Structure 1
Amino acid sequence: MQFKHPEILYFLFLLVIPILVHLFQLRRFQKQYFTNVRFLKELNMQTRKSSVIKKWLLLITRLVLLALIITAFAQPYFNAQDSENTSNEMVILLDNSFSMQAKGNKGELLKRVVQDILENTPENQQFSLLTNTGAFWDTDSKSIQKELQNIQYTDVPFRPDFLLIKAESKKPSTGKDIVIITDAVNLNSKDINTFKTDSPVYSIIPEAENKNNIAIDSVYIAQVLDNFYEIKVEMQAYGTIENEIPIALYNGKDLTAKTVVNFDIPKQSAVFTIPKADFHGYIEVSDNSLTYDNTYYFSISKPQKSNVIAIGDTDKNKFLSRIYTPEDFNFIASELRTLDYNALEKQDAIILNELQEIPQALATTLKSFYDKGGNVVIIPSPDSNSQNLNALLTNFGNAIYSSINSTEKQVTQIGFNHPLYNTVFEKKTSNFQYPKVNSSFTLSGGALPVLKYDDGTPFVASLTNSLGNAYVFAAPINKTNSNFQNSPLIVPTFYNMAQNSSKTGISAITIGASESLILDALLTKDEVVTVRNEDTDFIPMQQVLSNKVKLSFGDYPEEAGNYAVYKSDQNLKNISFNYARSESNLALQNKAILDKFTITKSVATVYNDIQSERTADELWKWFVIGTLIFLLLELFIQKFVK
């Protein structure tokens, strides 16, 4: 027990006053004579004895009473249980990721948590609040009430370790009371490894009542018809979806088509047919759960002819002219000796068709072309030197040719999930007319196999730098060495190898996925392109590449939607952005990793616990009560003890 005013205890010397009063009786007794005291003798002895007891009781009572009241003024107390952290600052780490859109028993989780903070935080309580995307430093609930009520959801993952580092760098020498508010969806143990065990950490985990959810994963062109595109929408259901779910297709703000999907299995798809023209819209489903993944924005540009050049003997290039028809391609066949190097930069795809020797100048040009987003197709010649081929391959990645082998091989495996074929086959098939080769190089290294021989080695492999692609054949495909030109695979393989994603296909970029886009645009020295829609605009990172420009988007834009790339007021291309679907599965809640912290139900509980643990036990009230009790006790002794 300690005292706030220990100097008042010196007044305890006043306890000698009642002792002196009782030791020295100041009252004088007067003698009274009676004619006969024989009958009063016994009564006199009893009176004297009772008087002595009464005096001692009064003495003890007055001593205790005086000691209690003096001690009460000294204000005794016991130390708080957690007195070491009384100077800590309050830091709230609030998760505002998309999974907090889920609904609990009182509405959306994030909105309910914000209301809890505003209602139960004392008005004079200072705190710092950090979200996935913002921070409020040294504030109070009244000052940021409007900002908290308007807080937006984000696709940025909740990383409490990063937020704690930010808070500690702000005030490194100040202790902290940390409150983590999250639904713990996709939370990993590494996200809390930086938390110190000696710091008070509280966790509030709001629970979603309905964890069923539907997300649109992707949209792609499943089939290209003469005048139409067949659009396929891939969707994923989490949990049990009993009712049919409506799905709608919008071009701009106009409803184009609508259907329903029954999720008897978790993965379902829907197919729409749209005209073969510019499309700038979105797909939308309606469920009663998360809303951020119910819309998928995408854009399709009117097909432009791809520019393709084949370098090789005229006779060997003839089969390519039957694939790259004038309706879809601007195709040029050139022999190496007559090649116009200046024309290479304008191409979308360059095919090296069985060149015996590849000049260094051509190899350098191909590397620059590949770095700027072009596609390169390498078909070796039976007379090619493996060292010469490998010198070329070093410009594209880790792929190595070994010496040619005259053993017959058959292609038996197709990479159905490879970008070349993921829209070619409706389902995997084993009953297929596979091609074969009479002689082949052995291709090794880190290239991704597209077609494989029966021994597992690649017949066709691909390399990419995320902008351009290099497709490498392991064997010559002339009719003398292979029947590949007669295989059903020949057309989709070469057709897709020549496609430029910026000219054909769907434009749907995932925000934060570090994707890039190459556009045909001539920019002056200080000229830049912007990306904008009706609500916002931003300038992406851009790199001028001769007659092209490379755009990198990083974490922009902040909101998903349909946008367009502008050069001044000229619309270069329509593009669309979507959020990553990382928060869609609400069953990935990982509450267990927060068990080492103090788990509470609300902000009010946090403040109550902190106050009870850090408030000293004041004892002076009990001493005042004791004083009153002994004062009453003295009155009773005076009145009833004879």
Structure 2
Amino acid sequence: MSFLNPLFLWGLLALAIPVLIHLFRFRRYRVIHFSRVKWLQSLVLTEKATRKLKHYLILATRLLGLILLVLAFAQPYRPSAAGVNPSQTRLVFIDNSQSMMASAGQSTSWNLALEAADKLIRSYPEDASWLILSHSTDPSAYEAVQSAEALRAVQELRRTYRGSTWEEVKMKFETAKRAVDIGAIYLISDFQSDGLPMVGDWPEGIIPVKVSEGNTIESVSVDSVWFDVPSGVGQPLEVFALIANYGTSPARDILVELHLNDSLRSARRVTIPAGDRVELSLSTLLSQGGKFRGEVRIDDFPVVFDDVLYFHFSIAEAIPVSLVSESGNSARVLEAILSDDQFQLTTMRPGGIEASVLRASSVVILNALSDIPAGLVDPLVESGSRLVIIMPGKQELSAGYRALFRKIGLVDAGVQWRTFEQSIPVSNINWGDPLFRGVFMRKERQPEVPKISGYWSFPTVPATLGLSDRSPILFSLTRESRAESFIWTVPFDAPYSDLSTHSLLVPLMHNMVLFASGSSELYRWLGASELARYSVTDAEALVSVDLGEQNLFTPSQRRRGRFVEVRWDQKPQLPGVYGLYQGNQLVGYEAFNASRLESSLSLMEDRDIEEVFGNPVVQMHSSTDPISTLSTSKESSIWWVLLIFAALAFLLELVWIRFLP
């Protein structure tokens, strides 16, 4: 048995007061001479014994009432689960996700969590064994410590911006049980309901400690940001944002701001219905190219970690593009399409290819080559440039194409040329592919599409643009969720297709080159392991990340021609836009954001938590001091029972005083 407020036990010293009063309460008798006291003596003795019994009963009930009252304020409880050996380690998991910063009465869930862990550890002996875990704890740090070090670990714990699921928390518990002899597990959290595994999935012995009030916390979040179509210098830039309201009431007149390179460029106000999302656009005009840091901001309380979404993008003055093609109509069409100021086009014939030009190009277009020279395959792949391959007309698939397909990860089994007696229209459009953003004004039932009379059949790839049987006319090969290559399975010229004269070709080729030339995603989530590619000038120097305050971090990376591929896994720790440098030269930006898994603050009810874990919920209630009270839902009745019995004891004392003679 332990006490939550042991200082109140000093109140037991007050028991000496009624005892002293009882011992030194002497009645002084005045002597009166009386003639005969024979019959009065027995009466006095009887009354004296009755009064003595009355005094003892009053003293006993008064002491009992005071003892019960002091114990009630000291709040006795059992700090360990039933069956836990005192020598076993007690695991305390503290939810340090961003949702814990939500207000809980006059405090925050985070402060209540730290207070709960502190009270819990102090209620045990100093030599008790503890394991302190959180979302950000490295599995290699699963080592038991004594109370003093456990308290220090709690004090040093900081919140994390990295997303973590309940399934990952459960795996941490299972790993800890294998590494350490675990008794009770105290799970201190606000208990968001999303994704919580059901009954039977959790290890035994978990005591849930809830540090939140209510079941829903109002929250508005910048959910995501994107571009519908690429933009260039002197062209309007339209940034789309999705703003989500996770609350139970409408979010009215929310100000949404667009900042580029620390400058406010656009702002709008929006009202979002309860539990809904609103898509809006923020527009500006860019007078010059370069690398940009962007933010979409709102002002929301009490949950603030998701009020800003960071992103980055680059607008090149001119994108270097190499076109390798025989002379012909389709070559002239492609040259006309890519004559825009956004592109720096170099046209080469198959016999006059310059490897240095290929390495300097962001995009290489191979237009209907009858074969790919053997010496060109490796430079194409090693350059790191994105490929746009336009297949040739009817022939056998050459060895050069097969070698290139193997290099870029395309299975060529079953690839063959197919023809139709009459031209047939393309009928399968993947409207969700980013390549079609801005191509059509609206999604039509029967859009104007090109016709083909022959194509190369690739049976194992999904179509971006295809036939009714889903055979692809255009598809992309992705790597790390990014398009590495675009492949047209049909030549642009007659008699194979009418693509060279079709209006669809111009926006598709523009988007293809613009998207393929992008350096990386607009933003990333903290903690996600992803691969990004950046264009560099120095083939030897490593890329470093500026974390601020003269702190540089060098992530794992590898070379691919004039590009470097960086693996993002552990760093950085905080959301923001970070500069990437080779020496003192800025080669790009990368944006990281806190996971939006924490934005939906729908909290579990106590009865549901008890059903999941099989143990009563421990509540941390905020109060005005703001010291909080730790009590279990089934054991919290103990101190109320003590108060009730204390009141009954004082009531019984009044009964003795009133009715005993």
Q: 1:478 aligns with which of 471, 479, 493?
A: 493
1:114/1:149 contact within 8 Å kept:
no
Tell me which residue corresponds to 1:492.
507
Report matched runs for 1:12-51 at 5 Å: none
Q: 2:305 aligns with which of 283, 292, 295?
A: 292
Deviation of 1:256 after TM superposition, in Å, equals: 3.1
Alignment CA distance shift 1:294-1:595 (3 Å): same
Tell me which residue corresponds to 1:205.
210
Alignment CA distance shift 1:326-1:398 (3 Å): closer
Residues 554-576 of structure 1: per-residue CA shift (max 9 Å, x gap): 13211110211112222222332
TM-score (norm 2): 0.71
Q: 2:631 aligns with which of 582, 605, 610?
A: 605
Tell me which residue corresponds to 2:643.
none
Tell me which residue corresponds to 1:26.
none
TM-score (norm 1): 0.73
Tell me which residue corresponds to 2:220.
214
**Aligned: 1:133 with 2:136:** yes
Report matched runs for 1:221-370 at 5 Å: 221-223=227-229, 224=231, 226-240=234-248, 241-264=250-273, 265-277=276-288, 278=290, 279-315=292-328, 316-325=330-339, 327-369=341-383
Tell me which residue corresponds to 1:465.
479
122-131 vs 454-463, greater mean Cα deviation = 122-131
Partner SS, residue 597 of structure 2: coil
1:221/1:505 contact within 8 Å kept:
no
Alignment CA distance shift 1:403-1:142 (3 Å): closer
Distance 1:607 1:404 in 2: 73
Partner SS, residue 344 of structure 1: helix
Paired letter, 2:560: L
Deviation of 1:583 after TM superposition, in Å, equals: 2.3
Alignment CA distance shift 1:251-1:191 (3 Å): farther
Distance 1:424 1:98 in 2: 40
2:466/2:472 contact within 8 Å kept:
yes
Partner SS, residue 448 of structure 1: coil
Partner SS, residue 359 of structure 2: helix
Distance 1:91 1:504 in 2: 44
Deviation of 1:499 after TM superposition, in Å, equals: 2.7
Distance 2:603 2:319 in 1: 44
1:116/1:602 contact within 8 Å kept:
no
Alignment CA distance shift 1:581-1:83 (3 Å): closer
119-128 vs 240-249, greater mean Cα deviation = 119-128
Residues 514-543 of structure 1: per-residue CA shift (max 9 Å, x gap): 333322324465x42211143554211121
Tell me which residue corresponds to 2:38.
none
Paired letter, 1:215: S
Tell me which residue corresponds to 1:434.
449
1:93/1:163 contact within 8 Å kept:
no
Tell me which residue corresponds to 1:108.
108
**Aligned: 1:420 with 2:435:** yes
Alignment CA distance shift 1:512-1:486 (3 Å): farther
Alignment CA distance shift 1:542-1:83 (3 Å): closer
**Aligned: 1:162 with 2:168:** no
515-524 vs 255-264, greater mean Cα deviation = 515-524
Tell me which residue corresponds to 1:99.
99
**Aligned: 1:153 with 2:160:** yes
Alignment CA distance shift 1:435-1:289 (3 Å): farther
Alignment CA distance shift 1:427-1:534 (3 Å): farther
Deviation of 1:439 after TM superposition, in Å, equals: 1.7
Distance 2:600 2:632 in 1: 29
Distance 2:604 2:430 in 1: 34
- Identity, % of aligned positions: 18
Paired letter, 1:397: G
1:188/1:593 contact within 8 Å kept:
no
Distance 2:123 2:420 in 1: 85
326-335 vs 392-401, greater mean Cα deviation = 392-401
Tell me which residue corresponds to 1:177.
184
Alignment CA distance shift 1:477-1:83 (3 Å): closer
Deviation of 1:361 after TM superposition, in Å, equals: 2.8
Distance 2:317 2:518 in 1: 6
Deviation of 1:289 after TM superposition, in Å, equals: 4.3
Partner SS, residue 368 of structure 2: strand
Deviation of 1:441 after TM superposition, in Å, equals: 2.4
Paired letter, 1:245: I
Distance 1:114 1:425 in 2: 55
1:502/1:517 contact within 8 Å kept:
no
Unpaired stretches in structure 1, ≥5 consecutive residues: 1-79, 613-642
Distance 1:81 1:118 in 2: 18
Distance 1:146 1:338 in 2: 66
**Aligned: 1:577 with 2:592:** yes
1:433/1:487 contact within 8 Å kept:
no
Distance 1:504 1:178 in 2: 46
Residues 374-395 of structure 1: per-residue CA shift (max 9 Å, x gap): 2112222223323644553233
Deviation of 1:318 after TM superposition, in Å, equals: 0.7
Alignment CA distance shift 1:585-1:328 (3 Å): same
1:348/1:499 contact within 8 Å kept:
no
Deviation of 1:308 after TM superposition, in Å, equals: 1.6
Distance 2:526 2:259 in 1: 21
Partner SS, residue 85 of structure 1: coil
140-149 vs 380-389, greater mean Cα deviation = 140-149
Distance 2:335 2:175 in 1: 60
Distance 1:187 1:101 in 2: 20
Alignment CA distance shift 1:329-1:191 (3 Å): farther
142-151 vs 276-285, greater mean Cα deviation = 142-151
Tell me which residue corresponds to 1:383.
394
Partner SS, residue 616 of structure 2: strand
Distance 2:517 2:604 in 1: 38
Deviation of 1:273 after TM superposition, in Å, equals: 1.5
**Aligned: 1:561 with 2:576:** yes
Unpaired stretches in structure 2, ≥5 consecutive residues: 1-79, 621-629, 639-661
Residues 575-611 of structure 1: per-residue CA shift (max 9 Å, x gap): 322223222223385955962431322374369969x
Alignment CA distance shift 1:595-1:83 (3 Å): closer
270-279 vs 145-154, greater mean Cα deviation = 145-154
2:199/2:612 contact within 8 Å kept:
no
2:428/2:465 contact within 8 Å kept:
yes
Distance 1:471 1:594 in 2: 52
Alignment CA distance shift 1:268-1:84 (3 Å): closer
119-128 vs 90-99, greater mean Cα deviation = 119-128
Distance 2:212 2:635 in 1: 22
What RMSD in Å do the two structures reach over aligned CA positions? 3.3
Distance 1:336 1:609 in 2: 83
Tell me which residue corresponds to 2:409.
397
Deviation of 1:211 after TM superposition, in Å, equals: 3.4
Partner SS, residue 533 of structure 2: strand
